[in-house]
Chain A
Amino acid sequence: MTKKYDSIVIGGGHNGLVCAAYLAKAGQKVIVLEANEKVGGMAITSELGGVKVPTVAHIARAVHPKVIKDLGLNIEIAKANIPMIALNTDGQHLKFKGDQVSGMNGAIVSAEDIKGYKSVHRNLQRFAKFLSPMMEAKAPKLKNRDREDTWNLIKLGVKLRLLGKQDMQEFLRIALLNIGDLLEDNIDNKQLIGAAAMDACWGTHLAPRSPGSVLTAMYRETGDMKGTRGAAHIVKGGMGNITDKLLKICTDLGVNVQTNAKVSKIVVEDDCVKGVELDGGEIITAENISSNADPRRTMLDMVGAEHLDINFTRRINNIRDKGDTAKVNLVLDRLPSFKGLSEEDLKARLLVCPDILYAEHAFNHCKYGEMAAKPALEITIPSVSDSSLVNDGKHVMSIVAQYAPYKLKAGWSEDTRNQLFENVIKVLEQYAPDIRECIDVSETLSPADIAKRFNNSGGHWHHVEMQVDQMLMNRPIHGAAQYNTPIEGLYLCGAGAHPGGNVTGVPGMNAAKRILSQKK
């Protein structure tokens, strides 16, 4: 059976839905094909032990204001602008809010360090603001004689100059630096440096001393979804609430959203897309296809090398897209008692990374195909802010654990997954000694599990590692930038396209604009 559409969107992750909504708004007949039984990709809320857990993504920072406005996306926030608390085994934690940092329970932060942190934070925010207009358009290419690109480059140049001589020099100095060096230049407090440094590395194959970690820190700060740049929010009903709403927006706009519809092949004829073939053999035809699947899966598995050039496939095959980030979700019978934290404090984002060396040690394991014995953790307990997730006094704890490689030397199995869970809990016990007794149900997702469950090649948060050689006009690779691919009518609209990962909706929005602008 053959059905004809203007556009097919492969993958119902948030970017796929955003792309579909923009296309439908412009009057296109659109179908979204999601392999899983539920849309939302890695931004979903799932049932676990009778409560709702944020399966992968757990914090909203950067859903783009344009996406919110254009699509009428009303994101309900359970707790806005949550602080970050860097945990310490003796209860002397540090609390971060915006550019402020303070000691808890007698922890001492010197006036110089408070000032130093403020200055680093100010610069990161200022530079993120300077970079953020780059996110909203296709990344300009240098030599393609495109007026929009030339104009964007000129604007960027002027803005860079307008930062002022000192700031411009500082931007150029630190842009490719590692976050460890930047913080150590300005701050002495090791605990402060450790937490702030690790915060730049979540979801990447970077540790604080890896070059490029300042860039990822800036990228994080580009989001200003609720008017506060870089702020983190807990979404009511979990991250799935955002994608549920996007689904509603899509269906209201007449988008046909099909779940359990796994695309096995993109049908290419005479260098143009003709449609897709589903796992069951059904063919759906369309003028355009935008793929929210990662670039490797899209180009090598769905299109196939026979339709592509050799260096192009080599570059796609060499994309760095292996995730290092695992997820542990816990359903708790009661709230654990963290040393020196009140219940109100548990609404914050809790960080376990006592100092830079801790993160570097954890990363070392990962480099050699092992999981970290003592992983760095980012923890939220969304049920403290949002009681609608749970019942019977239960709680949900969502833990991001780094580092655990996609390609584990020993291979991912029930045993190694249990090992990962044990490593996480052992670390957590040092801060919340009764955590083990509180656990009712748990779920451990290695990057390989994430890859399998969400059909995402390397199980990477950002689909494609966020590093300068895989960003802007080189994202995901040279030859597939600006949402286009060598195949006419095939576009990339996922996190593997510019500007990149996190729940922003920007790749989806930009891709839709690109498709519409290239429509003959």
Chain B
Amino acid sequence: MSIAIERSKLGIKETPFFPRLKELSTTAHWEHWGGYLSPSELESLELEYFAIRSNATVFDISPMCKYRIQGPDAEKFMNRLITRDVRKVKSGRVSYVVWCNDEGHLLDDGTIFRFGDDDFRLCCQERQWDWLISAKLGFDVQITEETDEIAAIQFQGPTTCWFLKQLGLEGVENLKTFDLKYFDWNGNQLLVSRTGFTGDLGYELWIENKKALDLWDALFALKDERHIRAIGSGALNLARIEAGFLAPHVDFLSADHVIRSTRGRTPFEIGLGWQVDFNKGQFNGRRALLKSQKDKTDRYCFVGFEIDGNKPADHSLIYYKKKQEIGHFTSAMWSPTLKMNIGMALLKLPYGDSVQEELWTEIYTEKELKYDVTMAKLKVTDRPFFRNKRRTATPPADF
């Protein structure tokens, strides 16, 4: 097939779902994700995007980094690692979290799964083994890397609950957003969490590697009753922008990856200040963040915009009074569902914060080897851009 697949023999790993993805891929658009081959698009970006909003979609998230943290000090350990108060995350719940280095600069975001009083899983984009091992000093916990042991899919779309019920997962419809539960499925432990990256109704399904294809086949066996489609990262990215989620490497960089010392960002600078709980006691970066709040040293803010017109503004520069450059869009798109031109931007303070008027973006559009330049007016908009009741409705409708 394509060159990329040849490379898999040279060391790029195949996820447990790869045999099915390979069969479905007609465009051969692949990318690398954490050492694995992952589809950017399987058949058609447009069809895959619309399936997220109207049917059921399967995105293979097996390459996601997964770490198990267990032991008597697990809660203390997690609470010191991340900026939120882990004590408020009950057993059987998932929570979106971020964590910082000693300077209070973001290292990564992810989710924690709480299985019990002293049993957690951390899921994230970047490898964290080194950081977790450093963090372990002085804590009675065992840390296990589970990335290669557990296969996972993000199962998103309005009809996903119907599919899970067909699989015989009794009571799956009662899962609230951010709930997690183990189900007995054909004698296997299938972990279902009502989480996702699309802002839509959806679940994430976690199963041991060797049962991965059985799960896939069981879902796709229902394809004649309800439409189900495997998707690539391109479609998912559109849905996540509509949902207003940040993507690592796109909207922020891990402080561990930046070379320039000024490129680290505090959670406050990328709109994640709500994640920081100063009242819970010590957590990593707390002193630095307290100081940055006290001395008002934050230099940036992260803002959602509605953009005039219909030209996608990705990477466009933003100006104050059409003159002074104050930032740029890190993610932007024309939203087919909202029929709205939207984007998220990193701006120099105070623009986007106390100064929200007279903000413009300069969009370059190529039209057959000729560039058109448009100055489009911006309006600060709350995120998520896309809101739908079905995301949180319990039990979800069958459609």
Contact = CB atoms under 8 A, between A and B. Distances in A.
A306 B138 contact: yes
Interface string A306-320: 111111111001000
Given A306-B282, A307-B282, A313 B138 contact: yes
Nearest to A307: B282
Nearest to B80: A306
A369 interface: no
A304 interface: yes
Contacts of B135: 310
Contacts of A317: 137
A309 B137 contact: no
A300 interface: yes
Contacts of A116: none
Nearest to A300: B138
Interface string B2-21: 00000000000000000000
A433 interface: no
Contact of B134 (A270, A307, A314): A314
Given A300-B138, A306-B80, A311 B101 contact: yes
B284 A309 contact: yes
B216 interface: no
Contacts of B281: 270
A486 B284 CA distance: 12
A271 B76 CA distance: 16
Contacts of B287: 271, 309, 486
Contacts of B81: 310
A264 to B, nearest CB: 15
Nearest to A486: B287
A98 interface: no
B139 interface: yes
A65 interface: no
A340 interface: no
A21 to B, nearest CB: 31
Which interface class (under 10, 10 to 19, 20 to 34, 35 or more) fits B?
10 to 19
A305 interface: yes
Interface string A280-319: 0000000000000000000010001111111111100100
Contacts of B101: 310-311
A310 B102 contact: yes
Contact of B76 (A306, A308, A312): A306
Contact of A304 (B102, B138, B285, B286): B138
B139 A306 contact: yes
Contacts of A312: 102
- Which has the most chain B C-beta neighbours within 10 Å: A308, A310, A311? A310
Interface in A447-480: 479
A271 B282 contact: yes
Contacts of B139: 305-306
- Which has the most chain B C-beta neighbours within 10 Å: A307, A308, A479? A308
A295 to B, nearest CB: 14
A314 B285 contact: no
Interface string B283-310: 0111100000000000000000000000
Contact of B137 (A270, A305, A479, A486): A305
B185 interface: no
Nearest to A269: B281
B72 to A, nearest CB: 13
- Which has the most chain A C-beta neighbours within 10 Å: B81, B138, B287? B138
Given A271-B282, A271-B287, A479-B102, A310 B131 contact: yes
Contacts of B102: 309-312, 479
Interface in B31-82: 76, 80-81
- Which has the most chain B C-beta neighbours within 10 Å: A304, A305, A308? A305
Nearest to B287: A486
Nearest to A317: B137
A313 B80 CA distance: 13
Interface string A472-495: 000000010000001000000000
Nearest to A305: B138
Contacts of B76: 306
Contacts of B131: 310
Contacts of A305: 80, 137-139
A106 B139 CA distance: 64
Contact of A300 (B80, B137, B282, B285): B137
A321 to B, nearest CB: 15
Interface string A55-98: 00000000000000000000000000000000000000000000
A314 B137 contact: yes
Nearest to A313: B137
A304 B80 CA distance: 12
A306 B136 CA distance: 10
A511 B138 CA distance: 27
Contact of B285 (A271, A307, A309, A479): A309
A180 to B, nearest CB: 36
A8 to B, nearest CB: 21
B110 to A, nearest CB: 16
A270 B286 CA distance: 11
A479 B284 CA distance: 14
Nearest to B79: A306
Nearest to B81: A310
A518 B147 CA distance: 49
Contacts of B282: 271, 306-308
B376 to A, nearest CB: 41
Interface string A16-28: 0000000000000
B122 to A, nearest CB: 14
Nearest to B285: A309
Contacts of A479: 102
A486 B102 CA distance: 11
Contacts of A309: 102, 284-287
- Which has the most chain A C-beta neighbours within 10 Å: B284, B285, B286? B284
A461 B102 CA distance: 31
Contacts of A304: 138
B138 A311 contact: no
Contacts of A306: 76, 80, 138-139, 282
A310 B137 CA distance: 8
Nearest to A312: B102
B359 to A, nearest CB: 34
Contacts of B80: 305-306, 310
Nearest to B76: A306
A118 B139 CA distance: 55
Nearest to A316: B137
Interface in A29-71: none
A304 B138 CA distance: 7
A483 to B, nearest CB: 17
Interface in B112-146: 131, 134-135, 137-139
A293 B281 CA distance: 26
A412 B131 CA distance: 34
Nearest to A270: B281
A486 B286 CA distance: 11
B277 to A, nearest CB: 14
Contacts of B286: 271, 309
Pairs of residues from A and B, 8 with the lowest C-beta to C-beta distance, nearest first: A305-B138, A309-B102, A311-B102, A314-B134, A310-B135, A310-B284, A313-B137, A310-B134
19 contacts: A271-B282, A271-B287, A300-B138, A305-B137, A306-B76, A306-B138, A307-B282, A309-B102, A309-B286, A309-B287, A310-B80, A310-B134, A311-B101, A311-B102, A312-B102, A313-B138, A314-B134, A314-B137, A486-B287
Given A310-B131, A317-B137, 7 more contacts: A270-B281, A300-B137, A300-B138, A306-B138, A309-B287, A310-B101, A479-B102
